[in-house]
C-alpha cells in the first residue's frame, strides 16, 4: 500500500518514560503518597501502598506458575484483582491476555489457543461457562479461581511474598489484547510498556489529571480503554471502578466519591441523558467527561453541552494505538454544539508526538507514533500490512483539514458501494439520528442483484416514541442524495455491540442478509 503525502500534521514529541515500566508508575505513587486512595470497587478500597503490596505478591505468585514470556489470561468483569493483574503480570515477566467477558465461550477458546496462554485467572460464573476441561484443551495448564478454588485460588497467589527477580525493558510486550473483532476472529495486538506509556502521555496532555481529581470508568478492563488507569495512578489519584455500566449505580458513585473525571462511550452518555435522575446536582462534581469508541451523534452532543456544565473531550484511537491518539477538546465541543459544522463530526487534533496523514488513493488514515503497537501476535503477514511503510494503517477513511483537524468518515469495510457510488454509513446515520424517535441506528450495505449493495438502516426507537420506516426514508431523502437513501428500515430492540460499545455491523449484515436471501428463496430455512 502506497503511503500518501497529500496532507500531514506533526506535533512536538512528548517527554519519554526512559526505562520506565508500567509497574513503576504504581511503585512511584506508593512511595510518594502511600496512604492516598488508589482504587475503589464495590468490594472495598485500597491505598497505593496496599495496592503495590498486593501487586508484588501476585507477581511473585504468578512467577511460581510460569516462566518468562508465558501468557496469563484473565476472564472476569471489572474488579480490583483485574487492576492488580494489569501491574502484576508484566512485573512477573509475562504477557496479560484479557478475555472479553461478553463473547461466546468458543471465542474465548479461540483467543486462548491463538495466544498460547498457560495460565487462566477467572471468575467462577464465567469459568463455569467456559469449562475447565475446555480451557485445558485450549492449552491452559493452571486455572486460578478468583472466587472458588480451581487448581489454586487467587488468594494463594497473594500469599506469596518473594518478589520476582525479573527486570523488564520498555520494549517488552506486556499486553496481548484482542482487536475489536467486528469482523472475523480478532487479532491479538502486541502492546508494550513503551506504547502504553506513550498513550498515557498523549491522554494526559489532552485530559490533564489534577491533584484533587477522582476518576471513574465503567469501560470493561478487557478493553484497551483500561490504559486510562495507568495515567490516573501515575498522577497519584484514585480510580473508582464499576463492575459493569449501570446508569443508576454510576450516578450513585459520582455523588458518593465526588467523581470529577468520567470515561464513557457515546451510548452511555445517551443513556444518562435519557435518565431523569441525571441532573445538575448529581453531576456537580464532574469536571470532564471523556468519551470514545465511536462517534457521538449530533443530537446527543448538543443535548449534553446544553444540559451539563461538564467539559466534553473526545478521544479517537484503537487497540493498535494502545489507546487514544487524537483528541477534540472542550472548546471545540462547545463550538460544535453552537453550530460549527466542521467540528460537529470531527475526531480532533493529533496529540503531541502523533503524526497523521491520509493515503493518497484510499484516504485511509495512517498514524505514526510511539504508541503504535509492536504488531499482531504470531501474524507476520497481517503485521506487515498494518504497519507498511512505518505507519499504522487504521482501516478508517478520513478527511484532514489544512490545520490538522481529523474527521473520520467511516471504516473502510463499512463504506457501502451502491450502483458504483460510495456511501459513508456514518453520514446516513447522522441524518437518521436527528429524528427524535430514533434512539440508536446503524446503516449497513446488503447484497442487491441490481445495485451490488443497497443501503439498509437498522433502528432502535426511543421509549415512548414511534416512527415509521416511510418517515425515516423521507427524512433521509430530504437531506441526502437518492443513492444514499435507505431502501429498507429494520426496527430492533437493541443493536449488537462489542465491549467497546462499537456496533457489530458484520453481525447485522449476516443476519439481515440471511433473512433477505430466505425471503427471495422460500426453500431457504
Q: Evaluate whether the domain defined by 17-400 bears CATH number 3.40.50.300.
A: no
**In the 8-state DSSP scheme, what is residue 34?**
T
DSSP single-letter state for residue 499? T
Residue of 138, 56, 128 lying closest to 97 (CA atoms): 138
The C-alpha cell of 135 is what? 480451557
**8 Å CB contact between 97 and 51:** no
Contacts (Cβ under 8 Å, ≥6 apart) of 43: 79, 80
Q: Which fold has domain 419-520?
A: GMP Synthetase; Chain A, domain 3 (3.30.300)
Residue-range domain boundaries for the chain: 17-400, 419-520
d(CA 356, CA 492): 37
Cα-to-chain-centroid distance, residue 34: 31
Residue 234 to residue 33: CA distance in whole angstroms: 11
User: Which residues 6+ apart lie within 8 Å of 86 measured at CB?
Assistant: 22, 96, 221, 226, 229, 230
3-state class (DSSP) for residue 71? strand
Contact 325, 317 (CB under 8 A): yes
Helix (H, G, I), strand (E, B) or coil at 149: coil
β-strand pairing of 392-400 with 364-368: antiparallel
Q: What is the pLDDT along the chain (525 residues), one digit of tens a residue?
A: 222 333 343 443 444 456 799 999 999 999 999 999 999 999 999 999 999 999 999 999 999 999 999 999 999 999 999 999 999 999 999 999 999 898 889 889 999 999 999 999 999 999 999 999 999 999 999 999 999 999 999 999 999 777 666 779 999 999 999 986 444 567 999 999 999 999 999 999 999 999 999 999 999 999 999 999 999 999 999 999 999 999 999 999 999 999 999 999 887 898 899 888 888 788 999 999 999 866 677 788 888 888 898 999 999 999 999 999 999 999 999 898 888 888 888 999 999 999 999 999 889 999 999 999 999 999 999 999 999 999 999 989 899 998 899 998 877 777 787 866 778 788 898 889 999 999 999 999 998 877 778 999 999 999 878 899 999 999 999 888 788 899 999 999 999 987 667 788 888 888 887 776 655 544 433
Region at 401 (left for phi over 0; alpha for psi -120 to 50; beta for the rest): beta
Closest CA to 214 of 198, 188, 238: 238
432 CA to centre of own chain: 25
CA 36 to chain centre: 28
Amino acid at each position: 500500500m502506497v503511503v500518501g503525502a497529500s496532507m500531514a500534521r506533526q506535533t512536538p514529541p512528548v517527554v519519554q518514560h526512559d526505562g520506565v515500566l508500567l509497574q513503576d508508575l504504581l511503585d512511584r505513587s506508593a512511595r510518594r503518597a502511600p496512604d492516598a486512595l488508589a482504587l475503589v470497587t464495590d468490594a472495598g478500597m485500597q491505598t497505593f501502598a496496599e495496592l503495590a503490596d498486593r501487586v508484588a505478591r501476585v507477581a511473585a505468585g504468578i512467577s511460581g506458575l510460569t516462566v518468562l514470556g508465558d501468557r496469563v489470561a484473565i476472564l472476569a468483569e471489572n474488579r480490583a484483582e483485574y487492576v492488580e493483574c494489569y501491574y502484576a503480570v508484566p512485573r512477573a515477566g509475562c504477557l496479560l491476555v484479557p478475555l472479553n467477558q461478553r463473547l461466546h465461550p468458543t471465542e474465548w477458546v479461540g483467543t486462548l489457543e491463538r495466544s498460547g496462554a498457560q495460565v487462566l485467572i477467572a471468575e467462577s460464573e464465567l469459568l463455569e461457562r467456559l469449562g475447565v476441561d475446555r480451557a485445558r484443551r485450549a492449552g491452559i495448564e493452571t486455572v486460578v479461581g478468583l472466587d472458588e478454588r480451581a487448581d489454586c485460588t487467587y488468594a494463594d497467589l497473594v500469599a506469596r511474598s518473594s518478589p520476582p527477580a525479573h527486570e523488564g525493558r520498555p520494549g517488552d510486550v506486556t499486553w496481548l489484547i484482542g482487536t475489536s473483532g467486528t469482523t472475523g476472529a480478532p487479532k491479538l495486538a502486541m502492546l508494550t510498556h513503551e506504547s502504553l506509556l506513550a498513550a498515557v502521555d498523549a491522554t494526559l496532555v489532552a485530559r490533564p489529571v489534577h491533584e484533587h481529581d477522582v476518576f471513574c470508568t465503567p469501560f470493561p478492563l478487557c478493553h484497551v480503554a483500561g490504559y486510562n488507569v495507568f495515567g490516573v495512578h501515575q498522577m497519584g489519584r484514585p480510580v473508582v471502578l464499576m463492575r459493569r455500566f449501570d446508569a443508576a449505580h454510576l450516578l450513585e458513585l459520582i455523588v458518593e466519591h465526588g467523581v470529577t473525571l468520567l470515561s464513557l462511550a457515546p451510548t452511555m452518555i445517551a443513556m444518562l441523558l435519557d435518565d431523569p435522575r441525571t441532573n445538575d446536582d448529581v453531576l456537580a462534581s464532574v469536571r470532564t467527561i471523556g468519551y470514545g469508541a465511536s462517534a457521538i451523534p449530533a443530537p446527543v452532543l448538543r443535548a449534553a453541552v446544553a444540559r451539563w456544565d461538564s467539559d466534553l473531550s473526545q478521544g479517537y484511537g484503537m487497540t493498535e494505538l494502545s489507546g487514544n491518539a487524537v483528541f477534540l477538546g472542550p472548546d471545540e465541543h462547545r463550538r460544535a454544539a453552537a453550530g460549527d459544522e466542521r467540528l460537529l463530526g470531527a475526531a480532533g487534533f493529533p496529540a503531541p508526538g502523533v503524526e497523521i496523514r491520509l493515503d493518497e488513493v484510499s484516504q485511509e488514515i495512517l498514524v505514526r507514533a510511539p504508541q503504535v503497537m509492536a504488531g499482531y501476535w504470531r501474524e507476520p503477514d497481517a503485521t506487515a500490512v498494518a504497519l507498511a511503510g512505518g505507519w499504522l494503517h487504521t482501516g478508517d477513511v478520513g478527511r484532514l483539514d489544512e490545520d490538522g483537524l481529523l474527521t473520520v468518515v467511516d471504516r473502510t469495510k463499512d463504506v457501502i458501494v451502491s450502483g458504483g457510488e460510495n456511501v459513508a454509513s456514518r453520514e446516513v446515520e447522522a441524518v437518521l439520528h436527528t429524528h427524535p424517535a430514533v434512539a440508536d441506528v446503524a446503516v449497513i450495505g446488503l447484497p442487491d442483484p441490481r445495485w451490488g449493495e443497497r443501503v439498509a438502516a437498522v433502528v432502535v426507537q426511543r421509549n415512548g416514541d414511534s416512527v415509521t420506516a416511510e418517515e425515516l426514508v423521507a427524512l433521509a431523502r430530504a437531506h441526502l442524495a437518492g443513492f444514499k437513501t435507505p431502501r429498507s428500515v429494520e426496527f430492533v430492540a437493541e443493536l449488537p455491540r462489542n465491549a467497546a460499545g462499537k456496533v457489530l455491523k458484520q453481525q447485522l449484515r449476516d443476519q439481515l442478509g440471511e433473512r433477505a436471501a430466505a425471503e427471495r428463496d422460500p426453500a431457504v430455512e
